């Protein structure tokens, strides 16, 4: 009787989906890499491995050593930390679904109007296709997308994905929620990325065999999910920010996104192949800073080692054909700079191209002028991007014939924008850049603020205005001759 009762109890005991052999191998890899990074201030590591199709968690490491120091008894897969740039793919998916952008559109990675927004490398790459902007993890295009979509809409979408359950207004985090101001957990990230990896379908993670989970839901369209997966699995699109053949590149199809929080406090990587979804976090229990350990230089290396181990044990994985393309789209070769359809090498087309999946109505016209920084050709680009192009060494096509009446416009700040001051920021940083476009180009312009002359400047160079609370008006005029821009109004809180 006693043996029968024990057998019956065993049948009722929940059975975890964890693969113990894999768990041991993942733990060994995590400890090995953490030992290398301790000299740079890393103290803890967390890893999750999930089967892509089923959502079953087959390995989960919450800390380096449960019985060791550095708060090893805490489960860092459930710790609220900054994800850095790891939320950007969801903003792009939302923008694609809402028609805010198309894959052939051009996004501007240019100096932002409001101070304090920059890229991790301190540079701006200029006009970019969405594929490039996301794969290069540029901050300014992502923040501009949130502004175009709307803060509240973006915030609600991230909540619907389960990335947060914050009961606070969206403007508490602002547009910088795209680059790390909205905390989340590694477990939430892995679950949400499952929607990108599974054609837009969001499902709960499975921790026990045979357990009942809530019905899956559609979080985004298949089209958006597959496009974002294509963006993040394209090694050429990551150039120049992430060089080829580094830890973000694999001998089989993998989509990957990294994140680094401010001050190198957190390094995050989420990667998925057609079989597995991996999440890695590296940091410190006290949320202290590490020494230049970014998601790409640390967490991505561990994720790379884990995925290679996983695919090494499955025959035939290196021959996988890749991720499925978005339905109803065809590959089109586009010029990197400007996004027009390439003429092709035989016809003297642009030298640098990317292949994008487009619908017929999204295919842009062929390039008009070959892109060349130092060749005889000139580049025809939108007026708002000309100052950047000149500074980058490109020969810009003439804006108009001599004697044409000048057209003045203000690029930054945007009309009717609302800007919040950071009370903790030094006075030198509490300012915005005033940016102008003048066609044809003029040697000088005069900036007027609230009806009074503020500065005379080269129209290709920004002028910085110190933020002052209240409503303000900006206008651009030519010195000693007719011509003025429309008035731009802003409010500073």
pLDDT of residue 403: 38
pTM above 0.75, yes or no: yes
Query: What is the SS3 assignment for 443?
Result: coil
Give me the residue label for tokens 């810009």: 396
Of 185-189, 206-210, 360-364, the range with the highest mean pLDDT is 185-189
Q: Looking at per-residue confidence, does 274 or 395 come out higher?
A: 274
51-55, 96-100, 382-386 — which is least confidently predicted?
382-386
57-71, 202-216, 343-357, 433-447 — which is least confidently predicted?
343-357
Give the distance, in angstroms, between the CA of residue 270 and the centroid of all CA atoms in the same chain.
12
Q: Which of 3.40.50.720, 3.10.20.520, 3.40.980.10, 3.40.710.10 is the CATH number of 20-319?
A: 3.40.710.10
| Residue 120, both tokens | 């991790």
pLDDT over 90 (residue 67): no
Alpha-carbon distance 322 to 346, whole Å? 29
DSSP state letters, 334-346 = EETTT-PBP--GG
Q: Looking at per-residue confidence, does 5 or 184 come out higher?
A: 184
pLDDT of residue 425: 61
408-440 per-residue burial string, b: 16 or more CB within 10 A, e: under 16: bebbbbbeebebeeeeeeeeeebbbbbbbbbbe
Tens-place pLDDT, residues 363-387: 888 765 444 445 545 555 666 666 6
Confirm or reject CATH 2.60.40.10 for domain 407-492, answering yes or no: yes
Q: What is the mean pLDDT of residues 95-116?
A: 82
pLDDT over 80 (residue 295): yes
Query: Domain map of the chain by residue range?
Result: 20-319, 330-391, 407-492
pLDDT over 90 (residue 316): no
What residues contact 483, with CB distance under 8 A and at least 6 apart?
A: 405, 406, 407, 408, 477
Q: What is the mean pLDDT of residues 187-204?
A: 98
pLDDT of residue 393: 67
pLDDT of residue 207: 96
Interstrand relation of 431-439 and 407-412 (parallel, antiparallel or unpaired): antiparallel
pLDDT of residue 422: 66
């Amino acid at each position: 009787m006693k043996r029968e009762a024990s057998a019956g109890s065993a049948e009722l005991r929940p059975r975890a989906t964890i693969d113990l052999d894999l768990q041991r191998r993942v733990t060994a890899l995590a400890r090995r890499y953490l030992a290398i990074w301790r000299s740079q201030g890393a103290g803890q590591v967390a890893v999750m491995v999930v089967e892509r199709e089923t959502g079953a968690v087959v390995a989960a490491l919450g800390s380096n050593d449960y019985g060791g120091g550095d708060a090893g008894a805490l489960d860092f897969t459930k710790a609220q930390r900054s994800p850095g740039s790891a939320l950007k793919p969801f903003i792009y998916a939302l923008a694609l679904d809402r028609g805010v952008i198309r894959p052939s559109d051009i996004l501007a990675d240019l100096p932002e109007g409001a101070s304090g927004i920059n890229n991790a490398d301190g540079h701006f790459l200029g006009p970019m296709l969405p594929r490039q902007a996301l794969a290069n993890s540029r901050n300014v295009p992502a923040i501009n997308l949130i502004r175009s979509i709307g803060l509240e809409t973006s915030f609600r979408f991230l909540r619907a994905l389960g990335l947060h359950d914050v009961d606070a207004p969206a403007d508490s985090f602002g547009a910088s929620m795209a680059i790390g101001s909205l905390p989340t957990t590694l477990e939430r990230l892995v679950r949400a990325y499952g929607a990108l990896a599974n054609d837009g379908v969001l499902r709960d993670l499975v921790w026990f065999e045979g357990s009942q989970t809530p019905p899956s839901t559609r979080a985004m369209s298949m089209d958006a999910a597959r496009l974002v997966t294509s963006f993040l699995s394209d090694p050429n699109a990551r150039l120049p920010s992430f060089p080829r053949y580094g830890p973000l590149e694999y001998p089989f199809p993998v989509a990957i996104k990294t994140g680094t929080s401010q001050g190198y406090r957190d390094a995050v990587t989420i990667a998925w192949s057609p079989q597995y979804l991996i999440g890695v976090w590296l940091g410190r229990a006290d949320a202290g800073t590490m020494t230049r350990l970014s998601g790409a230089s640390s967490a991505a290396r561990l994720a790379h080692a884990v995925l290679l181990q996983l695919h090494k044990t499955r025959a035939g994985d290196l021959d996988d054909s890749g991720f499925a393309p978005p339905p109803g789209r065809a590959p089109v070769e586009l010029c990197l700079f400007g996004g027009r359809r390439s003429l092709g090498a035989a016809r003297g087309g642009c030298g640098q191209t990317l292949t994008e999946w487009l619908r017929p109505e999204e295919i842009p016209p062929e390039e008009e002028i070959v892109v060349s920084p130092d060749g005889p050709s000139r580049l025809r680009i939108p007026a708002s991007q000309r100052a950047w192009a000149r500074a980058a060494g490109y020969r810009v096509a003439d804006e108009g014939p001599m004697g044409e009446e000048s057209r003045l416009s203000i690029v930054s700040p945007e009309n009717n924008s609302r800007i919040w001051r950071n009370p903790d920021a030094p006075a030198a940083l509490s300012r915005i850049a005033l940016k102008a476009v003048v066609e044809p180009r003029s040697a000088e312009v005069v900036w007027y603020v609230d009806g009074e002359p503020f500065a005379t400047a080269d129209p290709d160079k920004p002028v910085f205005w110190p933020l002052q609370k209240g409503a303000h008006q900006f206008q651009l005029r030519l010195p000693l001759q007719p011509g003025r821009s429309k008035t731009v109004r802003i409010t500073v809180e």
